[in-house]
Chain A
Amino acid sequence: MTTYIIRRLLQAIPLLFIISFVLFALTNSLGDPLAVFAESRQRPTAEAREEMRRRLGLDRPLLEQYVVWLIGNDWMLVDVQGDGTVMEPGTRQGVLRGDLGISFVTRRPAWTRIEERLPNTLTLMIPAYTITLILAVGIGVYSSVRQYTFVDNLITGASFFFYSMPIFFIALMTIYIFGVQFTRWGLPALPIGGTGDGSIGDLIVHMFMPIFCLVAIQLAAYVRFVRSSMLEVLGQDYIRTAHAKGLSEGRVVSRHALKNASLPLVTLVGLDLPFLLAGAVVTESIFAWPGMGRLFIESFERADIPVMMAILMLLCVMVVVFQILTDIVYTWFDPRIRY
């Protein structure tokens, strides 16, 4: 087991290098990050911009920029004037030493940008995901046990319906009904965006609609998944044996069927969990929720390469880590699997 984990970790390292290089090349071709300063109120002179470009290393070849991004440039000299007169030592430490760079826009470390936004995203995503999972297992199991009954068909139909729905449709409809129309009808309306005035109660009120939308969309896919893996297990011989031994229906479903059906669910959850960190781009922008998805869009629009790279690399590392964790949890759930 330990050798397996070590081997997986070693395999992950080249993968992360490939991903980071591809992403670095892509984000660096998004356009000139210094164009932002040309539009700002205190417009720097062309010379100042050239100096800034050299300090940031944006004039160097891509491969060199990538190496600096990885291991920093405090071991080499930066030619600030571009003519070899003023040489300053670099200040960056590089990603491998935990320095994700300075945001081009806010001039603060890229990591502090993430630290500000990550809690917002998690306060939205964790409750939404937890509710989704609990409801999905409940509804999926119920629907599979009563296969082809009216309720099962209703659930299957509804999950298809929500599965095909773009999330902005649900979001706009809930805003229109609970935000706009409730105000017109004089009913207590829900706030339609933002995170409130900072108090917990207000935050929770603001969380209602985004969480409702996220659950509605995610739930559909998970219900279908739980239902189909339950149906597969319920058709197995050992379920018939369990029934034949005279076990109660509830015990067969919970102990024999659900436990086995939860294996594929573990994989799905393990692969989906890291993406919770990315937040929900569309939901966050509709509900003006200052989370990671919005941060990505904001940095994308202003070509803030260090922040984009920080978000993307955080995600990739989490994906790799969760893949390995999923495999470990798998052996715990299914003793037949040995590595």
Chain B
Amino acid sequence: MSAVDTTTTQSRSSSAVATLQYEKGRSNLSRSMARLRRHRMALVGIGLLIFVFMFVLVGTLLIPESQSTFNMPSRALQAPSAEHLFGTDVIGRDLLARVVYGGQISLFVGVTAVIVQMFVGTVIGLLSGYLGGVIDSVLMRFAEAMLSIPQLFLALIALRIFSDPTEFPDFTFMGRQYSATMIVIVFVIGLTSWMRVSRIVRSVVLSVKEQEYITSAKSIGAGNWRIVLRHVLPNCFAPIMVSATLGVGSAILLEAYLGFLGLGVRNPTPTWGNIMGDANSYINQWYYWFFPAVFIMLTTLGINFLGDGLRDAFDPRSLR
């Protein structure tokens, strides 16, 4: 890393052409990434995330999916042993398999919910900031209205409305059966958490809108679409990346809370949250709730470390 730095600095001082190449070769993004690589906490975060991801991936390859739903009440609530490393749950399902396959769903829900959230938040933020006027005040009042209700309450209500099993039956994908609540929960989490993103995007748009290059783009006849997509949106990249990263953490936590209250993704699909929800009545059996909770914690911890690192890396004022 430092070797690359010194060579580029040397070539920078040698000639003007090299300076140009230096600026070209090291864009804002790559400089930010270099800062990220020096951020110790971010590296720990990436390490944690790789660990969780590998656990789920290797687990998926080693343990067949049927293990996570196969129940045998005669072996219910066994403490961890060589045979069942994480023990068994109340109807004798292997908890290791359930944590692995629940992890798939929790991570999937976390990431896709954030994609929905970022998409909606960015579109609303762009519209609101760029168009201004009545549209701006209507959209921002709406965002304010949604912010004044606890997200858990909103998500609970939305989840109940859209999780009618007759309208959204279980579906089969690649030979496995999933509960449709899994897809519903992605949209519920995404659509109840876009408000902060749209505010951030809006504020970036407002500050960029008055810049001279926007005026010059307008004067050469660029359309609104082109201006927004080519000149305004790239400026939102850094704040969107930071809030998307942190958003995955809060989406996974929200899914866990909903599952814990028994109102999240329904059986047969396991998630870290609904395993915890089942385990709530079996506090004495520590292994039942301990392992899914540890994985929720490791994931959110990794994401928070990484998000913090990204924030420092994208912030040009940051010293580290």
Residues of chain A touching chain B, judged by Cβ–Cβ distance below 8 Å, are 14-15, 18-19, 22-23, 26-27, 29-31, 160-161, 163-166, 168-169, 172, 175-176, 179-180, 192, 275, 278, 281-282, 285-286, 296-297, 300, 308, 312, 315-316, 319-320
Q: What is the CA–CA distance of A168 and B280 in the complex, to the nearest angstrom?
A: 9
B297 touches A169 (CB 8 A): yes
Given contacts A160-B301, A164-B304, A316-B145, 8 further A-B contacts (CB under 8 A): A166-B300, A168-B260, A168-B280, A168-B289, A169-B297, A176-B286, A281-B152, A320-B148
Whether B300 and A164, one on each chain, are in contact in the complex, defined by CB atoms closer than 8 angstroms, is yes
B156 contacts A by Cβ under 8 Å: yes
Per-residue interface assignment for chain B, residues 298 to 311, with 1 indicating a CB less than 8 Å from any chain A CB and 0 otherwise = 00110111001000
When distances are taken between beta carbons in the complex, the residues of chain B under 8 Å from A179 are: 283
**A316/B283 in contact, CB under 8 A:** no
Provide a sorted-by-A list of 7 A–B residue pairs whose CB atoms are within 8 angstroms: A18-B142, A19-B149, A26-B161, A30-B161, A160-B41, A192-B283, A308-B157
Among candidates A19, A160, A163, residue contacting B148 with C-beta atoms closer than 8 Å: A19
Q: How many angstroms from the CA of A42 to the CA of B68 in the assembled complex?
A: 42
Provided the pairs A160-B305, A286-B280, A300-B156 are in contact, do residues A165 and B297 lie with their beta carbons within 8 angstroms? yes
Complex Cα spacing A127 to B303, Å: 31
B233 to chain A, nearest CB (A): 28
Closest 3 CB pairs of A and B: A164-B301, A169-B293, A319-B148
Residues of B contacting A23 with CB < 8 Å?
149
Contacts of A22 on B, CB cut-off 8 Å?
145
B150 within 8 A of A: yes
| Cα distance, A165 to B257, chains bound together (Å) | 12
Whether the Cβ atoms of B283 and A285 lie closer than 8 Å is no
Please, which residues of chain A bring their CB within 8 A of the CB of B300?
Answer: 164-166
- By DSSP majority rule, is chain B's interface helix, strand, loop, or mixed? helix
Complex Cα distance, B304 from A320, in Å, reads 30
How many residues of chain B get a CB closer than 8 Å to chain A's CBs?
Answer: 38
CB contact under 8 A between A30 and B157, given known A164-B301, A169-B297, A282-B260: yes
Chain A residues with CB under 8 Å of B304's CB are 160, 163-164
- Determine if B148 and A281 form an interchain contact, defined as CB atoms under 8 angstroms apart: no
User: Do residues A164 and B149 form an inter-chain contact, with CB atoms below 8 A?
Assistant: no
Q: Chain B residues near A312: list those with CB within 8 A.
A: 149, 153
Q: Which residues of A contact B256 (CB under 8 A)?
A: 166, 168
State whether B293 touches A315 (Cβ < 8 A): no
Cβ-defined partner of A285 (8 Å) among B145, B153, B261, B296 = B261
What is the bound-complex CA distance between A14 and B138, given in angstroms? 11
A166 adjacent to B283 (CB under 8 Å): no
- The verdict on A300 contacting B160 (CB below 8 Å), with A164-B297, A169-B293 known, is yes
Does B75 belong to the interface (CB within 8 Å)? Answer: no
Contacts of A319 in B (CB 8 A): 148
Chain A residues within 8 Å of B150, by CB: 275, 278, 315
Contact pick for A300, options B144, B157, B289, B308, CB 8 Å: B157
| Segment 265-320 of B: residues with Cβ below 8 Å from A | 276, 279-280, 283-284, 286, 289, 293-294, 296-297, 300-301, 303-305, 308
Which of A15, A161, A180, A275 has a CB less than 8 Å from the CB of B283?
Answer: A180
Interface flag for B43 (CB, 8 Å): no
- Known contacts: A14-B141, A164-B301. The answer to whether A297 contacts B261 by CB under 8 A is yes
CB distance from B106 to the nearest CB of A (A): 11
Q: Which residues of A contact B145 (CB under 8 A)?
A: 15, 18-19, 22, 316
Contacts of A160 in B (CB 8 A): 41, 301, 304-305, 308
Are B253 and A166 in contact, CB atoms less than 8 angstroms apart? yes
Is B200 located at the chain interface by the 8 A CB criterion? Answer: no
- B87 CB-CB contact with A under 8 Å: no
State in angstroms the CA–CA spacing of A105 and B91 once bound together. 34
Nearest CB in chain B: distance from A251 CB, A = 27
| B241: Cβ under 8 A from any A Cβ | no
User: What is the bound-complex CA distance between A281 and B152, given in angstroms?
Assistant: 9
CA distance A163 to B304 in the complex (A): 9
